[in-house]
């Protein structure tokens, strides 16, 4: 059958089975009718396919089939939406070059995602001059320069543009795209050569702006005219000051603001009181934020998520947070908030996520927050809580995550939380936990993640892992597990991530047991007694993506023999 006949047959098939294709005159702000299919291709990249995912649609399967033999088709004969999907499939599978860009640049391609395609250069973008582009991602395309952005300037229909980690971009590059006034979302994360954002001033339709890790960015007063801006990410923008924050306070639609690791201080936070509609605020690592700033936050009564980790406030500041009755997430880790603060936190009855890592909290503080029955996530790592305080958690029946690592809690305390049967993730990284602790939490059969990294778990204790049939992640690196303990893991057929490092009694024999865990994606055997002869059984782990064999007796030559037998392996550390 000739190529023309094949194309004709395909078009007839598509005419019967597929929806009508998109009109070439689609409006700039209209979503493509097969957006979901493109998204499906993004989610299920061929190199990372999962046997358990939902079946692909007929349209996606057709696109995938054509992509495998793309040079046998006259792409110009394909319906526009199918051509788009074929192009997206080629991008997902990394089988793309400039010649392919040239071919598809003549079609009605409305989006492309070249994220992490390091071979993409400025000239490639020039092939899409006639396309009605709506969405473009060039994230981590490190060869893209200011000159390349000239090719995007005519695409006034663009609504989403991702230039994250395009490391060569400067302010001159932003000048080239200042005319893209239909942009709704723009990401410049990690573009460290950027200094000013004046070129963005005309983008009045922007709703999301990501400038994270643009360490030299200043002059945010240029954004004050963006009345529709809802989300601004400025985390790790270490040149952002109180003056910049005062400019942001004039954005009436702002709902989410990330100021992590910036130079903002109490004075800047006072200006934020004008943002009465703000729902999410992140100030993690802002060393200048103290009691005064936290007190000012009491005016932001719409807040639902507040992150104050590594800030320098204490109990005097927290007292003003009682007005934030809509809070669902509160992170105060590494602050000076102690037991008196917990009496205030107890008034925030809508809280679902509470992070108190490394705060000076004792059992008295736990007693105060025992009324927070809506909590799903509680982090008590590195606090002064003890076994006796665990009874205060009795009413938190909805808890799904609990972290007790490096606290004063041991085996006795675990017995007190065994009734929290909704728990899905439990962290017990502490030498105070032993085999008896594992036995105590046996009723927690919904656990999907268990961290006993430094706990004193032995082979005998591994028997108590049997009830956790849903476990997907396990870390057990306390130096006490040997081959007999690993043998017990065969019961955990749902395991995807397993770390058994620092257990020198694990030998080649254990690899026979591990080979039966067919769902494993990551496996860490650092510091075990594994040898060249022992790793061959791991060839059965065909889903394995990451394998770590540091400080073992396995040589690189043996690893190279194993690598071809593991088709999904992309990270091997030996």
φ/ψ region of 551 (left if φ > 0, alpha if ψ in -120 to 50, else beta) reads: left
Q: Is the separation of the CB atoms in 256 and 230 below 8 Å? A: yes
Greatest Cα pair distance, the chain, in angstroms, is: 81
The 3-state DSSP class for residue 393 equals: helix
Q: Is the separation of the CB atoms in 284 and 261 below 8 Å? A: yes
Q: Which two tokens stand for residue 200?
A: 């963005």
pLDDT, tens digit only, all 574 positions of the chain: 454 555 555 555 555 444 333 333 333 343 444 454 445 444 444 444 444 455 667 778 888 888 887 777 788 888 888 888 888 888 887 778 888 888 888 777 899 999 988 899 999 999 988 889 999 999 999 999 999 999 999 999 999 999 999 999 999 999 999 999 999 999 999 999 999 999 999 999 999 999 999 999 999 999 999 999 999 999 999 999 999 999 999 999 999 999 999 999 999 999 999 999 999 999 999 999 999 999 999 999 999 999 999 999 999 999 999 999 999 999 999 999 999 999 999 999 999 999 999 999 999 999 999 999 999 999 999 999 999 999 999 999 999 999 999 999 999 999 999 999 999 999 999 999 999 999 999 999 999 999 999 999 999 999 999 999 999 999 999 999 999 999 999 999 999 999 999 999 999 999 999 999 999 999 999 999 999 999 999 999 999 999 999 999 999 999 999 999 999 999 998 8
Q: Is the separation of the CB atoms in 78 and 63 below 8 Å? A: no
Q: Is 573 exposed, middle or buried (0-12, 13-18, 19+ CB in 10 A)?
A: exposed
CA distance 430 to 382: 10
Please state the separation of Cα 115 from the chain's center in Å: 15
**What are the DSSP E strand ranges found in 234-304?**
256-258, 280-282
Q: Is the separation of the CB atoms in 264 and 290 below 8 Å? A: no
Q: How wide is the angle at C-alpha 425 spanned by C-alphas 422 and 430, nearest 5°?
A: 125
CA distance 432 to 497: 24
CA distance 490 to 166: 45
Q: What is the pLDDT of residue 56?
A: 66
CA distance 287 to 526: 37
The 3-state DSSP class for residue 367 equals: helix
The total number of structural domains that make up the chain: 1
Q: Is the separation of the CB atoms in 211 and 239 below 8 Å? A: no
Question: Which single residue is written with the structure tokens 């009413």?
Answer: 395
Q: What's the full length of the chain, in residues?
A: 574
Instruction: Read off the pTM.
Output: 0.87
Beta bridge partners of 282: 258, 307
Question: Residue 488: CA atoms inside 13 Å, Cβ hemisphere, count?
Answer: 18
DSSP 546: E
CA distance 55 to 233: 36
Q: Is residue 22 part of a domain?
A: yes
Q: Is the separation of the CB atoms in 163 and 190 below 8 Å? A: no
Question: Which single residue is written with the structure tokens 């007693």?
Answer: 367
DSSP 23: P
Q: What is the pLDDT of residue 59?
A: 77
CA distance 73 to 195: 46
Q: Is the separation of the CB atoms in 487 and 514 below 8 Å? A: no
CA distance 479 to 379: 25
Q: Is residue 29 part of a domain?
A: yes
CA distance 143 to 186: 19
Q: Is 29 exposed, middle or buried (0-12, 13-18, 19+ CB in 10 A)?
A: exposed
Q: What is the pLDDT of residue 55?
A: 61
* All residues at 6 or more sequence positions from 48 whose CB lies less than 8 Å from its CB, including other chains: 545, 568
Q: Is residue 55 part of a domain?
A: yes
Nearest to 73 by CA among 1, 127, 123, 16: 1
Nearest to 186 by CA among 170, 216, 164, 202: 164
φ/ψ region of 144 (left if φ > 0, alpha if ψ in -120 to 50, else beta) reads: beta
Q: Which domain holds residue 8?
A: 1-113
Q: Is residue 191 part of a domain?
A: no
The 3-state DSSP class for residue 456 equals: strand
Question: Which single residue is written with the structure tokens 């990394």?
Answer: 94
């Amino acid at each position: 059958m000739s190529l023309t006949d094949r194309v004709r047959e395909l078009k007839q098939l598509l005419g019967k089975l597929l929806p009508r294709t998109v009109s070439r005159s689609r409006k700039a702000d209209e979503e493509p009718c097969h957006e979901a299919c493109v998204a499906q291709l993004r989610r299920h990249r061929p190199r990372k396919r999962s046997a358990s995912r939902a079946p692909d649609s007929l349209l996606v399967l057709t696109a995938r089939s054509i992509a495998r033999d793309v040079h046998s088709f006259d792409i110009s004969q394909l319906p526009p939406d199918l051509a788009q999907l074929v192009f997206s499939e080629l991008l997902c599978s990394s089988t793309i070059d400039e010649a392919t860009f040239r071919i598809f640049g003549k079609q009605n391609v409305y989006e492309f995602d070249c994220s992490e395609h390091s071979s993409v250069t400025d000239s490639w973008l020039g092939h899409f001059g006639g396309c009605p582009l709506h969405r473009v991602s060039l994230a981590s395309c490190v060869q893209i320069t200011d000159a390349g952005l000239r090719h995007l300037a005519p695409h006034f229909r663009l609504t989403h543009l991702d230039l994250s980690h395009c490391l060569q971009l400067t302010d001159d590059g932003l000048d080239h795209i200042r005319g893209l006034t239909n942009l709704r979302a723009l990401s410049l994360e990690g573009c460290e050569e950027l200094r000013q954002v004046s070129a963005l001033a005309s983008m009045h339709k922007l709703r999301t702006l990501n400038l994270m890790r643009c360490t030299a960015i200043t002059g945010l007063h240029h954004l004050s005219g963006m009345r529709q801006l809802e989300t601004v990410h400025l985390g790790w923008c270490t040149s952002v000051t109180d003056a910049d924050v005062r400019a942001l306070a004039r954005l009436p639609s702002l709902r989410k603001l990330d100021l992590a690791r910036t130079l903002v201080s109490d004075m800047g936070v006072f200006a934020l009181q004008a943002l009465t509609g703000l729902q999410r605020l992140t100030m993690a690592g802002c060393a200048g934020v103290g009691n005064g700033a936290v007190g000012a936050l009491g005016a932001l009564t719409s807040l639902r998520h507040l992150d104050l980790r590594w800030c320098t406030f204490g109990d005097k500041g927290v007292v003003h947070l009682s007005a934030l009755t809509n809070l669902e997430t509160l992170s105060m880790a590494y602050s000076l908030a102690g037991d008196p603060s917990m009496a205030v936190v107890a008034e925030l009855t809508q809280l679902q996520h509470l992070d108190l890592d490394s705060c000076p909290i004792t059992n008295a503080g736990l007693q105060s927050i025992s009324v927070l029955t809506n909590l799903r996530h509680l982090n008590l790592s590195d606090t002064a809580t003890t076994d006796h305080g665990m009874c205060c958690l009795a009413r938190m029946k909805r808890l799904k995550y609990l972290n007790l690592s490096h606290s004063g809690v041991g085996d006795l305390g675990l017995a007190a939380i065994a009734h929290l049967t909704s728990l899905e993730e439990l962290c017990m990284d502490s030498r105070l936990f032993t085999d008896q602790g594992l036995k105590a939490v046996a009723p927690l059969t919904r656990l999907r993640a268990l961290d006993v990294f430094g706990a004193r778990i032995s082979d005998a204790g591994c028997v108590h892992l049997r009830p956790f049939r849903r476990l997907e992640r396990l870390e057990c690196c306390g130096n006490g597990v040997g081959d007999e303990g690993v043998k017990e893991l065969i019961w955990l057929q749902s395991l995807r991530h397993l770390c058994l490092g620092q257990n020198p009694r694990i030998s080649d024999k254990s690899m026979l047991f591990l080979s039966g865990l067919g769902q494993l994606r990551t496996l860490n055997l650092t510091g075990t007694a594994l040898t060249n002869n022992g790793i061959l059984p791991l060839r059965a782990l065909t889903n394995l993506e990451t394998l770590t064999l540091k400080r073992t007796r396995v040589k690189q030559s043996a690893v190279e023999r194993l690598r071809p037998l593991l088709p999904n392996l992309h990270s091997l550390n030996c």
